Structure 1
Amino acid sequence: MNYRRQSGILLHPTSLPGPYGIGSFNQAAYQWVDFLHRTRQTLWQVLPLGPTGYGDSPYQSFSSFAGNPYLISLEELVADGLLDGQVLEQAPPFPADRVDYGAIYRWKLPVLREVANSFGRRASPAQQEEFEHFCAENAHWLDDFALFMALKDAHNGLPWNQWPMELRAREPQAIAQAARQHAAAVHNHKLNQWLFYRQWQRLKDYANQRDIQIIGDIPIFVAMDSSDTWTNPQGFHLDEAYQPTMVAGVPPDYFSATGQLWGNPLYRWERMKEDGYRWWLGRIRAALRLYDIVRIDHFRGFAAYWEVPAQEETAVNGRWVPGPGADFFATVRRELGELPIIAEDLGEITPDVIALRNQFQLPGMKILQFAFSTDASDKFLPHNYRRNFVVYTGTHDNDTSRGWYEHSATDKERDFFRRYFRTDGHDAAWTLIEAAMRSVAAMAVVPLQDVLNLGTEARMNLPGRASGNWTWRFQAHQLTPEIEARLLEATTLFGRDPAIYAGKDEEAGGQQGQDAPGIGGQG
């Protein structure tokens, strides 16, 4: 894909401000889009939007197709006549600067159940018709997902591979009986999905009308405890009792000396190839409904992935296994056409990964925080980029840039940083922001924490930490006029305001030009 020269902000919707404990698709979200528009950002990157469970990670979702009901705006439900406004007056106090997921679970989900229970008498005929149409249009995933969640509720949250065997195996009689027995709960979960998609589509349309595209995230792997594995066990490495035999992770790396043991079940790619990757094609179609551009997390797993026996306690004793490679992406291109995909090509990258990315002309990623551990040849230094990349100061897995410079970077990295940028390091976050904006990379994306110049306390995720992640939120007053002006100036100064190149040819602006054959440059 070819992308114009542009920039944007990485911010997961849970981090938006608001009064009810977690960011949602309320007016604060629309005000956030207005901020992006005023500062001439044309990209808003989010993390996966699926429903989360234990650990609250958006990368461990109960479904690849469903949305997270935590993000549903209660204020919008009041405005739509589906919720009594007095309910909001009874909300408990929530912290403004972080998400307390336990408190959200105890208060917001019961409120949404009441919305579902009263839908028949509160909803207008048009709303009821819209809901019925949504259910019919999405039945291919929604029916299974809603029953899956209803059964999880009925089994006190137990993973599906600990349910009675007839339910694990989806024996037709047991499934039919469960659907009848839990019909009310199934309805509730379906309604939550309609509300989520309805509100998100409104917000996405609002952003698109302001020339802002949404970059979403497709994690390469799915959670073991998900509707995906329950309904497609033949596509995963599971034994006869539906327990995983091989799980995903990465070997020792920048983040961990023992690697990262993710625990996701691995695909039986040979089985998926037999039916033309049907499940994956459906997953990508669903993602393109939610997003304008999709980032495939852990892209290197399509070339080769790290396979770890399920009984291992760390990821050290794993091995590299070939992935589906070019056959997969050729099938995707043949079935769906050219797609707006960004390849998350971080970690242990080998020539086969670079070749796969370049063969399909997918933009890769550059992380500035990684650039200062070697020398001038480092592939993450801006002078080594080519156009077909997305440059980040850091990602959701990194410390904030200020936190990185003050705490995480080594003395060698700090010294190289100061020499490279000819700075004393006093404004490290904005030094990296301006480096990203100035670079030749087609797209520059910056976490909001860096725009706000926040320290480690605002870090979104520390890989390997079991709890305490995904909780950071900003507050509306932090988007000061000074910050807005500084972001706008950097965006225009370094040519990432789309209006600058409007009507000019490629030589003048370079916004649509390609690299030479073998697009993508260094790995």
Structure 2
Amino acid sequence: MRTGGILMHITSLPSPYGVGTMGESARHFVDFLQAAGQSLWQILPICPTSYGDSPYQSFSTFAGNPYLIDLDDLTADGLLDRADYAGLDWGGDPLMVDYGKLYQNRYPVLRKACRALLAAPTADYRSFCEKNAFWLEDYALFMAMKEANGGEPWTDWEQAIQNREVVALNRVRRALEGDIAFWRSVQYLFFRQWNALKDYANEHDVRIIGDLPIYVSADSVDVWAHPEQFQLDEHRRPTEVAGCPPDGFSADGQLWGNPLFNWEAMERDGFAWWVRRIAYQFEIYDVLRIDHFRGFDAYYAIPYGETTAQNGRWRQGPGMKLFRAVEASLGKKEIIAEDLGFLTPSVHRLREETGFPGMKVLEFAFDRRDGGGPAYLPHNYPTNCVVYVGTHDNETAVGWLETAHPEDVAHAREYLRLDPREGEHWGMMRAVWASVGRCAVVQMQDVLGLGREGRMNIPSTLGGKNWTWRAPAGFDSPELAARLRRQMALYGRLPEQE
């Protein structure tokens, strides 16, 4: 079964209110995907973003991002009036998310919608709260506490709250009852819209690939509520943190700063935290991409307090023990292993033993900075893989052609027989579509032929334009859908050819 898909995060969709949402523009994009012969829509994590606005650094691995809630759909539900939000300042550039404006203006509007909801809570709302209580209650309390503490990380809160002492928690639950109810109800609104969007996609023969970061943020409810699952000292501070060693792209490596898992403790309870986490993801998505798969074989540990990743060391991960526990509990699931970066024979063996498809990035085949080499050339691809021109962490195809070493670009042009008359980015996409890889996914920015201005993220950098790219209105035109559909037909990736 050969399939094609598009990588585009929800925030990148056009809308009048500062950020892409799960409303009409998302449903229109699903229509476009179906018309274009695409079977898959790959998105980035949909959890709430924290400082830096990265979807890979969240306050919760279970919660949904309130920014993605569509305000017009709330109006259609009778929870808002358009006058509540239509005249607000959502930013001056419709092609870029202004997260500062979102933070300032979105939450007062959502609070009004939640007040209307809580004035007459439905049976569906109560059912949602009961079903999700295992994460929702801690999350709502965490966010209310964070707000009450001026946004400070939980490690700076009152000591009794840091330690989750029962008397102290009951005290703040009473004091912050209204705020806790808001954070609980906004999650209901999020998942009501998410479930409707996913149902719409599935009804139109489009399946959603979700993205699961391997690590969670230090300033998250996950670490605060479950400190025993992480490598923390007696003061609940990390002993070592996550990152990547130096490579061709970064002489200092990547210092992510996430706390590392206490794999020995996790193994003792049958990896229950991970089993529940992955089970929950498959309630949300059809297919799951697990980020930084190599960290399950061996992970890079950097002493807490370091300013770069240069002084880290490799430590042994859980390997197949974790994935056997997941399969024993959940059965076979469709998982994509993000197996990029520095790979050892043991990482390859682990991925092969799981049976998960790995990832092949075409740009890596030619770029001397990455050292990907021959394994990323299309003639060497295995069938069981997901093929990309580039991911959200890479240059767009046009951007890569403009910025890579001239000899590398010349090699790519010769190997791929790129033709400026059709657009060299189309030649790069055709290479992944024509490959034997069972699944081929391209960024929407590449379909649109965007250069560096369309790049979604530059790893190891904060601020700037990371995570802000948005598509212009009308980007998903019938003409573009027809051109994509023709390529899917040529290379046997139409759903009806399966």
**What's the TM-score bracket when you normalise by the shorter of the two chains?**
over 0.9
Aligned partner letter, 2:64:
G
Paired with 1:158 and 1:91, the residues of 2 have a C-alpha distance of 27
Paired with 2:187 and 2:448, the residues of 1 have a C-alpha distance of 33
Paired with 2:3 and 2:445, the residues of 1 have a C-alpha distance of 19
Tell me, yes or no, if structure 1 residue 27 matches structure 2 residue 24.
yes
Three-state SS of the structure 2 residue aligned to 1:214 is strand
Q: Deviations over 1:478-509 (max 9, x none)?
A: 334442222111111111002124xxxxxxxx
Offset of 1:424 from its aligned partner?
5.2
C-alpha contact 1:343 1:364 (8 A) present in aligned 2: yes
Paired with 2:242 and 2:104, the residues of 1 have a C-alpha distance of 32
Among 152, 171, 175, which residue is 2:146 paired with? Answer: 152
Paired with 1:428 and 1:365, the residues of 2 have a C-alpha distance of 22
Paired with 1:52 and 1:93, the residues of 2 have a C-alpha distance of 18
Alignment of 1:409-420 (within 5 A): 409-420=404-415
Paired with 1:235 and 1:96, the residues of 2 have a C-alpha distance of 42
Offset of 1:377 from its aligned partner?
6.6
C-alpha contact 1:373 1:412 (8 A) present in aligned 2: no
Among 103, 114, 117, which residue is 1:116 paired with? Answer: 114
Structure 2 equivalent of residue 505 of structure 1: none
Structure 2 equivalent of residue 96 of structure 1: 94
Paired with 2:4 and 2:71, the residues of 1 have a C-alpha distance of 31
Offset of 1:423 from its aligned partner?
3.0
Three-state SS of the structure 2 residue aligned to 1:478 is coil
Tell me, yes or no, if structure 1 residue 235 matches structure 2 residue 229.
yes
Q: Deviations over 1:396-436 (max 9, x none)?
A: 000111001112x1112111011102235562211111101
Structure 2 equivalent of residue 48 of structure 1: 45
Among 437, 446, 452, which residue is 1:450 paired with? Answer: 446
C-alpha contact 2:13 2:19 (8 A) present in aligned 1: yes
C-alpha contact 1:255 1:463 (8 A) present in aligned 2: no
Offset of 1:282 from its aligned partner?
1.0
Paired with 1:128 and 1:158, the residues of 2 have a C-alpha distance of 34
C-alpha contact 1:377 1:384 (8 A) present in aligned 2: no
Offset of 1:450 from its aligned partner?
0.1
Q: Deviations over 1:323-346 (max 9, x none)?
A: 000111111111111111000000
Tell me, yes or no, if structure 1 residue 14 matches structure 2 residue 28.
no
Structure 2 equivalent of residue 69 of structure 1: 66
Offset of 1:477 from its aligned partner?
2.1
C-alpha contact 1:10 1:44 (8 A) present in aligned 2: yes
Three-state SS of the structure 1 residue aligned to 2:167 is helix
Three-state SS of the structure 2 residue aligned to 1:118 is helix
Three-state SS of the structure 2 residue aligned to 1:89 is coil
> Cα distance 1:371–1:162, how it changes in 2: closer, same or farther (>3 A)?
same
Q: Deviations over 1:193-245 (max 9, x none)?
A: 00010000000000011111100011110000001000110111112222111
Structure 2 equivalent of residue 105 of structure 1: 103
Among 376, 387, 391, which residue is 1:391 paired with? Answer: 387
Tell me, yes or no, if structure 1 residue 441 matches structure 2 residue 437.
yes
Paired with 1:316 and 1:411, the residues of 2 have a C-alpha distance of 29
Three-state SS of the structure 2 residue aligned to 1:476 is coil
Tell me, yes or no, if structure 1 residue 316 matches structure 2 residue 313.
no
Paired with 2:9 and 2:285, the residues of 1 have a C-alpha distance of 13
> Cα distance 1:433–1:317, how it changes in 2: closer, same or farther (>3 A)?
same
Structure 2 equivalent of residue 169 of structure 1: 163
Q: Deviations over 1:354-396 (max 9, x none)?
A: 1010011110000001111469971001000111000001000
Alignment of 1:124-135 (within 5 A): 128-135=122-129
Deviation larger for 380-389 or 481-490: 481-490
Tell me, yes or no, if structure 1 residue 329 matches structure 2 residue 323.
yes
Aligned partner letter, 2:55:
P
Structure 1 unaligned segments of length 5 or more: list them.
Answer: 502-523
Taking only aligned residues, the RMSD between alpha carbons, in angstroms, comes to: 1.4
Three-state SS of the structure 2 residue aligned to 1:457 is helix
Aligned partner letter, 1:416:
H
> Cα distance 1:373–1:93, how it changes in 2: closer, same or farther (>3 A)?
closer
C-alpha contact 1:216 1:292 (8 A) present in aligned 2: yes
Tell me, yes or no, if structure 1 residue 226 matches structure 2 residue 224.
no
Deviation larger for 412-421 or 18-27: 412-421
Structure 1 equivalent of residue 134 of structure 2: 140
Alignment of 1:343-362 (within 5 A): 343-362=337-356
Three-state SS of the structure 2 residue aligned to 1:103 is helix
Q: Deviations over 1:50-76 (max 9, x none)?
A: 001100000001101100000001101
Aligned partner letter, 2:126:
E
Aligned partner letter, 1:77:
L
Paired with 1:244 and 1:190, the residues of 2 have a C-alpha distance of 29
Structure 2 unaligned segments of length 5 or more: list them.
Answer: none
Paired with 2:2 and 2:497, the residues of 1 have a C-alpha distance of 10
Q: Deviations over 1:66-120 (max 9, x none)?
A: 0000000110100001112221333225321110000011111111011122323
Structure 1 equivalent of residue 83 of structure 2: 86
Q: Deviations over 1:6-29 (max 9, x none)?
A: 000000100011000000011011
Among 249, 252, 262, which residue is 2:256 paired with? Answer: 262
C-alpha contact 2:85 2:109 (8 A) present in aligned 1: no
Among 495, 507, 510, which residue is 2:492 paired with? Answer: 495
Paired with 1:211 and 1:480, the residues of 2 have a C-alpha distance of 19
Aligned partner letter, 2:39:
T
Deviation larger for 471-480 or 20-29: 471-480
Aligned partner letter, 2:27:
Y
Paired with 1:448 and 1:421, the residues of 2 have a C-alpha distance of 20
Calculate percent identity across the aligned residue pairs: 50
Offset of 1:285 from its aligned partner?
1.2
Paired with 2:496 and 2:123, the residues of 1 have a C-alpha distance of 42
Aligned partner letter, 2:234:
E
